């Protein structure tokens, strides 16, 4: 299980565009180096590509982060961290299919906030970006029920959709 320290986090957001449709803004995940502490029974050898990929992500260099995190190796909790940041970097590149692939099978429920919420938001954006609108809308409805910043973001997007009340 991951234990993640909570700190003040600022998310940069931007609206992503795809041909013929606007995709809602993504949020950046909090920096991993300050926040992620694993409870592995034995220390896991740190992969240089993973460390460099997380550093690139923190600098908002999503191209480099996606490339390095995609090639990195990790085990246990650090594999969850790798895939979480990799999928986010891929979504920032607007490579939504790859972002969904990186998230495939990733258990989000055990993740603490704000990582879990941002991971779900990334999944929502990637679903919409790939044209899987039914799945995206279903996830958006669930996100709108949350009592946090992700819920506010989801309600704002839902209310701006054509046909919203």
Q: Looking at residue 58, which CATH number applies to its domain? A: 1.25.40.10
Question: Residue 108: inside a domain, yes or no?
Answer: yes
Written as six digits, the tokens of 142 are 């669930």
Question: Residue 36: inside a domain, yes or no?
Answer: no
Q: What percent of the chain has pLDDT over 70?
A: 76
C-alpha closest to that of 100 among 65, 140, 129:
129
Segments of the chain with pLDDT less than 70: 1-23, 33-45, 164-165
Quote the pLDDT of residue 119: 95
Quote the pLDDT of residue 10: 32
Question: Residue 41: inside a domain, yes or no?
Answer: no
Quote the pLDDT of residue 76: 83
23 by DSSP, 3-state: which?
strand
Quote the pLDDT of residue 77: 83
Residue 60: how many CA atoms within 13 Å on its side-chain side?
8
Q: Range of 98's domain?
A: 46-160
C-alpha closest to that of 9 among 94, 117, 109, 92:
117
Q: What's the structural domain count of the chain?
A: 1
């Amino acid at each position: 299980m991951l234990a993640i320290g909570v700190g003040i986090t600022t998310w940069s957001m931007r609206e992503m565009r795809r041909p013929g449709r606007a995709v809602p803004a993504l949020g950046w995940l909090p920096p991993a180096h300050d926040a992620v502490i694993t409870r592995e029974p034995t220390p896991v050898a740190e992969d240089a590509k993973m460390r460099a990929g997380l550093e690139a992500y923190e600098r908002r260099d999503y191209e480099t982060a996606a490339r390095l995190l995609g090639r990195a190796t990790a085990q246990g909790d650090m594999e969850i961290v790798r895939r979480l940041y990799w999928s986010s970097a891929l979504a920032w590149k607007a490579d939504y299919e790859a972002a969904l692939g990186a998230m495939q099978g990733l258990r989000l429920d055990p993740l603490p906030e704000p990582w879990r919420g941002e991971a779900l938001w990334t999944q929502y954006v990637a679903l919409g970006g790939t044209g899987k609108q039914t799945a995206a809308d279903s996830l958006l409805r669930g996100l709108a029920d949350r009592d946090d910043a992700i819920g506010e973001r989801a309600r704002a997007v839902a209310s701006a959709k054509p046909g919203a009340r």
